[in-house]
Structure 1
Amino acid sequence: MEATVPDERPSPEGPATFREVFAQREYRFVLTASTLSWVGDYIAKAAVTLLVYQETESVALSATAFAVSYLPWLVGGPFLATLAERYRYRNVMVACDLIRMALMVLIAIPEAPVGLTLALLFATTLANPPSQAARSALMPLMLTGDRLVLGLSISGSVGQAAQVGGYLAGAAIAAFSPTVALLANAVTFALSAALVHFGVADRPSAMTAAHRSHLLRETGDGFRIVFGTPVLRAIAVLVFSAMLFSIVPEGLAAAWASEHSGGMNAGAAQAVIMAANPIGFILGGLLIGRAVAPARRLALMRPLAVLAPLVLVPSLLDPPPVVVALLAAACGFAVAGLLPVANGLFVQALPNGFRARAFGVMATGVQVIQGMAVLVTGLLAERFSIPLVVGLWSAAGVVLMTVTALSWPSRATIDATVDAARFERRDDAPDAAGTATVGTSSARTGSECLRPTADDPVGRPGEPGRHRHAVT
């Protein structure tokens, strides 16, 4: 049976519905498995932080335990994500869940040395990049067209809710017993592995053994495909810029609440500010993803990109925490309106065999950008007032986002890139036996895929010298 790839560009038709998205059986299983893992992760973060503090009474070591979970993305995220391209996505996700389950059980052993706990926690989080890369690459294989964009919105909103719920549950369970909280996380990984194994089809790997070189070169190809393709590069700049400003209120919430509580209890003020952005993101993702037509969402990307930092500029006036929370929620709402569309467009413009690697590049960039934003604004806040720092930082964001919006590729360029990638995926589609017929995108390096020609000035992913008429 011949595999077909539908035209998945945004259309003027109405948006996809929740019923259409949840009618996809695999998506339901993956979303449920991911939610369990997310909740378990946040429970474990709260538990490990408390466990280390109880053992050492050191705030620094406790903070280190929290920060360890971000290290794999910083020290080897793209490299680890490349592993997901080499093997079957389902197998990668199941193996990572089982590895994390086993290591979490070891972390839960009472009275283990703190150094061993941190080492095991780091080993556990090494499984995050390949697992998340495989899930990201699997999404466009389960959902197509506007269903993909809505599915990404749902996943993002559920992830934000899982963060809030996981931290609250983790704090409550850890106060009773950190060991119980860690074992609960192990159980969530076991359940996630079972759901993925029994609910997801066993598709062939995106990269066959014949087209492997070595991990470093394959990882480099991921960077080249992202930053060497004009459309993908524009999306990456847009996403990174959005993360550079939206994270700041949450990252500075503790100090902001302590120094500018406005008569509120400092703990309550911190909670209100930290919860505002995720809540705004949930509302924005669901409302814009469901109520706004696909073509309109694409048109709104650039205005929302400018709006995200713009709504934080009034921080200059040193408003009370409740107003700060409303500003942060509005920022989260705007970011949620543009991210799923950007993510959907990103995967549509990717040739086959690069999805997991490209996800590793993007996820690592987001982690680095967010950490840098909080670090820089935190250092500035040591010398200047937090409202002044956040307000001016956001004003600079308006300028950056305006420049980014004005340099956005034309619709013709976007369509040409999506068409070329879609044509290649047709070449690389599995045959009736379930094996992949690897086309040009898997066989060539990123630089070869991006070579512009007279017919193809955009430098589309495709066969050099051939004009193709044709994100998943």
Structure 2
Amino acid sequence: MVNTSRGYRAVFDVREFRFVFGAHLLSLLGIVVGEIALSVLVYRLTGSPLMTALTFALGFLPYLIGGTLLSGVADRYPARRVLVVCDLLCAASSAAMALPVTPVAGLLVLRCVNASIGPVFSGTRAATLGEVLGTGDLFVLGRSLIRLVSQGAQLAGYAVGGLLLTVVSPRAALVATVAGFLASALLLSLGTGRRPARTGQGGALLASSVSGLRQLLGRPRIRALLLLSWLPPFFLVAPEALAAPYADRLGAGPVGLGLLLCGMPVGSILGEVLAGSLLGPRGRERIVLPVAAALLLPFLVYALRPPLGLALSAVALAGMGMAYTLGLDQWFVAAVPEELRGRAMTLQTAGTMTVQGLGMALAGAAAEFVPVHDVVAGAGVLGTVAAGPVIRSVVRSRPSK
């Protein structure tokens, strides 16, 4: 029996989780390096900032397709098979990106393919963690570790990718993405157990996906928890989306821009580590609603046109508020029936990525008409106000004891 009082260390006592964690780290580093290489490649081929930005946007928007129309895959096929096949498909499409004959249109299509597969993979992995770690505290800490390595790999991957592109071409750098996916597939194949599908394979995949989503969204408790997991990220991306123009107006240069972009992930890592290490299961559940209600308030500092240091502190403090997701994860997995767990995790992941993409787009659009600092401050106000009804719906949907 694993001692859950040992926090994150207890999760690594589970051998199977160590393989899942390692696979995630390898594939994620490859993905981040590939994103940088692809954006540079598209810009060199087209000379268009719009096309370059589109390569990043296409990493968000197809999540909605994969998270809805393909979500049934996560429950109707054995998890290990789904994870390995997803890795191999992404490796194949990334290899096609690296070919010299692949045109820009082909690069964008392949980017969409990988982005559509992403939520299926993430949802299946999250559901598998419930079988590997159970659905108690270890599951919460395991999901937290996956998020932590995602944030850390994003920071390290951008640095590695930038250095790599100083010595090799963008297409050669895309090979790192292929290697990451293949290494992930190998670890998952060798290190995870064979488990049966959670549901049968009767009926069409699309019908199964839509039916599962209808069942999930038809339950008030699940619907309320999904909204609470999506609302803060929608507003939290505003300062990141507008970091470049804000740094420019401050005269902070590339260094200031880099610091502003690092603020949110660094704050998120710190908040989750503290909540996961210092709080027990009940403590993490107690902070969910108050932290979710207040985490966007630091953005109000932007109304004062803060200097770089104060703006960075506000962004990092807001990022720390994402620690509310640890307790929320426990509520969510408890609310979802086992036969719908894969589809639920896929929907949650896809929704988070989609609202972040929409949030970035809307923040950018608003900044065309309103000063950047007012847009970020406005996101803090609107997000805090919008959190009220969502939190009330979560409270009302609590199961009676």
User: Given the two structures, how large is their TM-score scaled by the length of structure 1?
Assistant: 0.80
Give 1:84 shift. 2.0
Q: Distance in 2 between matches of 1:71 and 1:385?
A: 26
Q: Does 2:171 correspond to 1:179?
A: yes
Q: Report the aligned-residue RMSD.
A: 2.0
Partner of 2:287: 300
**Match in the other structure for 2:160:** 169
1:386 is matched with which residue? 372
Q: Match of 1:131?
A: 121
- Cα distance change on mapping 1:52 and 1:45 into 2, 3 Å: same
Q: Given residue 322 of structure 1, which amino acid in structure 2 is its aligned partner?
A: G
Paired letter, 1:208: G
Bigger-Rg structure (1/2) = 1
- Give the drift of 1:157: 0.9
Structure 1 residues 315-324 or 76-85, which shifts more? 76-85
Query: If each structure's helix is expressed as a fraction of its own residues, which one has the higher value?
Result: 2
One-letter amino acid of the counterpart of residue 285, structure 1: E
| Stretch moving more, 66-75 or 183-192 | 66-75
SS at match of 2:370: coil
Matched, 1:250 2:240: yes
Greater relative contact order, per chain length (Cα 8 Å cut-off, separation 6+): 2
Which sections of structure 1, spanning at least 5 residues, go unmatched? 1-5, 7-12, 417-472
2:190 corresponds to 1:198: yes
> Secondary structure, in 3 states, of the residue corresponding to 1:202?
coil
What's the offset of the Cα at 1:69? 2.2
Matched, 1:414 2:399: yes
- Alignment of structure 1 residues 68-467 onto 2, 5 Å: 68-144=58-134, 145-176=136-167, 177-209=169-201, 212-259=202-249, 261=250, 263-265=251-253, 267-335=254-322, 337-409=323-395, 413-414=398-399
Q: Deviations over 1:87-107 (max 9, x none)?
A: 111011111111211222221
Report the residue type matching 1:414 in the other structure.
P
The alignment of Structure 1 onto Structure 2 pairs a total of residues equal to: 398
Displacement of 1:248 in angstroms is 1.1
Alpha-carbon separation, structure 2, partners of 1:322 and 1:392: 20
Q: Distance in 2 between matches of 1:229 and 1:199?
A: 35
Runs of 4+ in 1 over 6 A off after TM superposition: none
User: Does the C-alpha gap of structure 1 residues 89 and 315 become closer, same or farther in structure 2, counting only changes over 3 Å?
Assistant: same
Tell which deviates more after alignment, 24-33 or 374-383: 374-383
Gaps of 5+ in 2: none
Q: Which region of structure 1 is more displaced relative to structure 2, 270-279 or 101-110?
A: 101-110
Give, as a single letter, the amino acid of the residue that structure 2 aligns with 1:199: G
Is residue 287–residue 327 contact of structure 2 (8 Å, CA) maintained in 1?
Answer: no
CA distance in 2, matches of 1:405, 1:123: 35
SS of the equivalent of 2:61 reads helix
- TM-score, normalised via structure 2 length: 0.94
Judge which range, 99-108 or 190-199, deviates more: 99-108
Q: How many Å separate the matches in 1 of 2:380 and 2:237?
A: 11
| Distance in 2 between residues matched to 1:75 and 1:408, nearest whole Å | 27
CA distance in 2 between counterparts of 1:283 and 1:183 reads: 32
2:70 counterpart SS class: helix
Q: Residue by residue, what CA displacement relative to the aligned partner does 1:173-213 show, whole Å, maximum 9, x if unpaired?
A: 1233212311111111111011000100010011123xx32
Q: CA separation of 1:69/1:397 partners in 2, compared to 1, >3 Å: closer, same or farther?
A: closer
